[in-house]
Structure 1
Amino acid sequence: MLAAMPPTPPTSPESGESPIRDRGDACPGALRLHPADDGRLARLRLPAGRLTVHQVEVLAAAAESLGDGRITVTSRGNAELRGLGDGCGAELAALLADVGLLPSAEHERIRNIVASPAADLDGLGGADVQLWARELDALLCDEAWTTSLSGRFLFVLDDGRGDVAGLGGDVTLIAGADGTAQLHIGGQTYRLPAPDAPRAALAAADAFLRAARTSGAWRVRELPDGAAVDLAAALARAGVTAEPLPVPPPLPHGAPPAPGALGERAVYVLAPLGRLTAAQLRALLPADEVRLTPWRGAVAVGAPAARLPELAAAGLIARPDSPWAGVSACTGRPGCAKSLADVRADAVPGGRTGLPVHYSGCARRCGHPHGDWVDVLAAEGGGYLVDGVPVPRTSLPEAVATARTTR
């Protein structure tokens, strides 16, 4: 195989350039359904990926009765339902609202909060950022101005282990072991008391919106030169006492959890190619709660390690050495009109270790992982490009296995 080339990421405005858009933010939600070739799509924001037992049951039932019977886990730990009928929007909204998955119709698309999914489960990390996520979600839904945030704006809450810190948050909180937190936005870092972290994150979003008023930016990285984020003023307005760090420390970097036991009271499994059947979602129960993760997995809180064989029998990835661990794919054909191939049918396990792998049906590379990953892209006329190198479908297993371990 020829020397691999790094994947080309989806295009986005470079620093200093104001984005040019000919329409508003069309990011799908639970109320704004997106048309696709396989029906309507609903994206449910789940702050920190959290689902109660009742919510798990209702989500599985909604997938079966209104959609194609599956739940897609997104790269932000949210959930998508596909194959929805044209007239089911009101029924779906009522089901979700009844179980607390729509606390505010006006805010439902801006509740993008990723948090360390193993927080308070395995003895690692600092503060329980899952609790921060719930408080921040309530703060977001209590303010009218937050509806001006884009459906793409992202809050990342890392408990100090570094598992989610690098996921490209617009506002990133890092919990310290000393009762403090670091707030990062646009190259600025402040240290503040941990109990003030959720309010500080809200203040940072306010500072961004003030800076973005005339630029059209949806994300912090899209702000043009000269559109300064006045974080100090925003923190002062919020009554948060914080210390600026002139030399920002690097974000912590840690691996995501491996499939298996998380401490003594939780287990972690991955969804095959990022999709759960309704039966697989229900198989996570009994549990105290379920947390979907940005790596397209699910933590069953309160489930003992003895349940892992049962979850594996249900088709979930329950071992770190599974050849399917770390393999994901976009929707592909027939659900997406832009896709050049049925990438889910073509996807193959490529080795048992190494980099994540993502199969994409077109150059948009929807749902690709963050960081370094093996790029498997459908090519015009058939076949694939593996990190830019043409590979026939029959040679994918060898090409992908090599790419995972040599770059």
Structure 2
Amino acid sequence: MPNPSVRADADACPGALRLHAAADGPLARVRVPGGRMTGAQLAAVHELAARWGDGHVELTSRANLQLRALGKAPVDELAARLRAAGLLPSETHELVRNTAASPLAGGLPVGALDRALCADPSLAELPGRFLFALDGGEGDVAFGADVAALPLGDEVAIIFAGVDAGLRVPPAEVIPALLAAAHAFLEERAAQTSATATTPHAPPATAEPTATRRDASADPPRSVPVPSSAGPGAAAGVPGARPAPGVVDHSTSVGARSDGIPAPRAGDSADGRQRVAWRVRELADGPARVAARTAATLGRTLGEPAELPRPVLREPIGVVAQVDGTVAVGALVPLGRLNDVQLKVLEAAESLIFTPWRGVVLPGLTPQAAGSWLAALAGAGLEVEAGSRWVGVTACAGRPGCAKSLADVRADADAATVAGQGLPVHWVGCARGCGSPAGPHVRVEATGAGYEVRSPYACGVTSVGEVGALVGTARKG
């Protein structure tokens, strides 16, 4: 098994032009900045899933869409259809169009940021895991991104990897500030990589650091192994199989990391290979140094950082009043997988907002329309009640879709999940922890010999049903 602290240099994030060779066939990731799209665009994606894939559309933790089992999909035609639907505006920047946005906030410049990003040729060098965020002011997306804009009164705080370094800009300068931060990341990464290559133990580069705060929620909790109903062993790939044209085989890469696992820093790995940072937090003193470079570019001085509260996140569920007098309807997608019936219902919406919590919001509705939508979504099997057992519960793909997974985590999560209150819970099939939430959560990890529940309140259990009881206790803290 690969050492999880070591990874390949190459950033192998899948996209619409470069597919991932998953165990169930090629996988395409369609980037949807801010999760914003139309029902007509979703219909175009659904058609591709039905024609060449397994018929489902998956939601990611960045509110992007995934199509699986695309074994017969011509990559060029797939791209052409996405381009025609307005979902592939740039081939050069396709992998770096990663923007999270508060789902209930109106007026966020998601489209303007995406256009500005795509118009800057040098930003095509960003890693596919670098994440922008436009927060509406509630702090729901700001702290999991590499660089985020968080309104604070009449100013906007630019947050770096969850850290407030004291950089403030007026609202009109948000997009230039975010792009300057992306450039600063690339510059600092180049400086640290160069310093490591020439002097392995040299201190990282020249920017003046500022103080950063340690987030206590990042401390690894105690863990206890728990047997799994799925049994030991890993899903095997097809011997001798080769990826189709346009498909990248990730089977030898150990680079798919998540926000739930400590990230390696730029420098030399244990086997002598040089690592290249993909996220701001992977740089030595990354938030402070990138903030200093960004401030210098903007001609601004870093002020006093604020103690910003990190809210307990709650997915928008049911009818939510909006400041403009309209209402929105939020629904959870159980384990982030939309089926044919659910897709057909959602395609009738004028506009859709997918959330980083694998849910969907229909904005700008009248109260009368909201009632009709609630009934339609519930009838399709989407969760529109706040007490749903699926509130806060997510999972990676698991078996059989992922060859690295040690269990069918979706089936086990379904069997074990009974309540929807407390900390989020994320089920993962291996130590990579793909799709993990950025904030505090309960992690249920398959080990091949069982499950490991990472929580301060963990205790020994012997079955998936008992895992569910333990997770319920851990969520409530």
Which bracket does the TM-score occupy, shorter chain normalised? 0.7 to 0.9
Equivalent residue in structure 1 for 2:386, among 298, 313, 320: 320
Structure 2 unpaired stretches of 5+: 194-275
Contact 2:319 / 2:328 at 8 angstroms: preserved in 1?
yes
- Give the structure 1 partner of residue 150 of structure 2: 174
Q: CA 1:230 to 1:164, structure 2 compared with 1: closer, same or farther past 3 Å? A: closer
Give the whole-Å Cα distance in 2 for the aligned partners of 1:174 and 1:258.
19
Contact 2:280 / 2:290 at 8 angstroms: preserved in 1?
no
Contact 2:38 / 2:351 at 8 angstroms: preserved in 1?
yes
Question: What's the offset of the Cα at 1:11?
Answer: 5.7
Question: What's the offset of the Cα at 1:87?
Answer: 4.3
- Give the structure 1 partner of residue 50 of structure 2: 64
Secondary structure in 2 matching 1:43: strand
Give the whole-Å Cα distance in 2 for the aligned partners of 1:150 and 1:230.
15
Give the whole-Å Cα distance in 2 for the aligned partners of 1:193 and 1:385.
46
Q: Cα RMSD between the aligned structures?
A: 2.3
Comparing 212-221 and 99-108, the one that deviates more: 212-221
- Give the structure 2 partner of residue 45 of structure 1: 31
Q: CA 1:64 to 1:390, structure 2 compared with 1: closer, same or farther past 3 Å? A: same
Residue correspondence of structure 1 range 304-383 to structure 2 within 5 A: 304-306=369-371, 307-347=373-413, 348-381=416-449, 383=450
Contact 2:142 / 2:159 at 8 angstroms: preserved in 1?
no
- The residue type paired with residue 335 of structure 2 is L
- Give the structure 2 partner of residue 124 of structure 1: none
- Give the structure 2 partner of residue 221 of structure 1: 281
Contact 1:287 / 1:301 at 8 angstroms: preserved in 2?
no
Residue correspondence of structure 1 range 94-173 to structure 2 within 5 A: 94-120=80-106, 128-129=107-108, 132-166=109-143, 168-173=144-149
Describe the superposition over 1:59-86 as per-residue Cα deviations: whole angstroms up to 9, x where unpaired: 1111111111111111111111111115
Contact 1:384 / 1:392 at 8 angstroms: preserved in 2?
no
Equivalent residue in structure 2 for 1:386, among 439, 449, 453: 453
- Give the structure 2 partner of residue 395 of structure 1: 466
Give the whole-Å Cα distance in 1 for the aligned partners of 2:286 and 2:152.
32
Contact 1:61 / 1:278 at 8 angstroms: preserved in 2?
no
Comparing 190-199 and 215-224, the one that deviates more: 215-224
Comparing 60-69 and 182-191, the one that deviates more: 182-191
- The residue type paired with residue 218 of structure 1 is W
Question: What's the offset of the Cα at 1:162?
Answer: 1.5
- The residue type paired with residue 158 of structure 1 is D
Secondary structure in 2 matching 1:209: helix
Question: What's the offset of the Cα at 1:231?
Answer: 4.7
Give the whole-Å Cα distance in 1 for the aligned partners of 2:112 and 2:461.
48
Verify: 1:302 aligned to 2:377, yes or no. Answer: no
- Give the structure 2 partner of residue 262 of structure 1: 320
Give the whole-Å Cα distance in 2 for the aligned partners of 1:165 and 1:149.
19
Give the whole-Å Cα distance in 1 for the aligned partners of 2:92 and 2:102.
26
Contact 2:135 / 2:141 at 8 angstroms: preserved in 1?
yes
Q: CA 1:252 to 1:173, structure 2 compared with 1: closer, same or farther past 3 Å? A: farther
Contact 1:75 / 1:296 at 8 angstroms: preserved in 2?
yes
Q: CA 1:148 to 1:378, structure 2 compared with 1: closer, same or farther past 3 Å? A: same
TM-score (norm 1): 0.86
**Runs of 4+ displaced beyond 4 Å:** 225-228, 230-237, 240-243
Secondary structure in 1 matching 2:182: helix
Name the structure, 1 or 2, with higher relative contact order (CA <8 Å, separation 6+): 2
Q: CA 1:228 to 1:243, structure 2 compared with 1: closer, same or farther past 3 Å? A: closer
Q: CA 1:109 to 1:255, structure 2 compared with 1: closer, same or farther past 3 Å? A: same
Give the whole-Å Cα distance in 2 for the aligned partners of 1:250 and 1:313.
40
Contact 1:112 / 1:154 at 8 angstroms: preserved in 2?
yes
Secondary structure in 1 matching 2:394: strand
- Give the structure 2 partner of residue 123 of structure 1: none
Give the whole-Å Cα distance in 1 for the aligned partners of 2:422 and 2:23.
34
Q: CA 1:137 to 1:403, structure 2 compared with 1: closer, same or farther past 3 Å? A: same
Query: Identity percentage over the alignment?
Result: 45
Give the whole-Å Cα distance in 2 for the aligned partners of 1:147 and 1:251.
33
Comparing 144-153 and 272-281, the one that deviates more: 272-281
Contact 1:36 / 1:336 at 8 angstroms: preserved in 2?
yes
Count of matched residue pairs: 376
Give the whole-Å Cα distance in 1 for the aligned partners of 2:434 and 2:56.
18
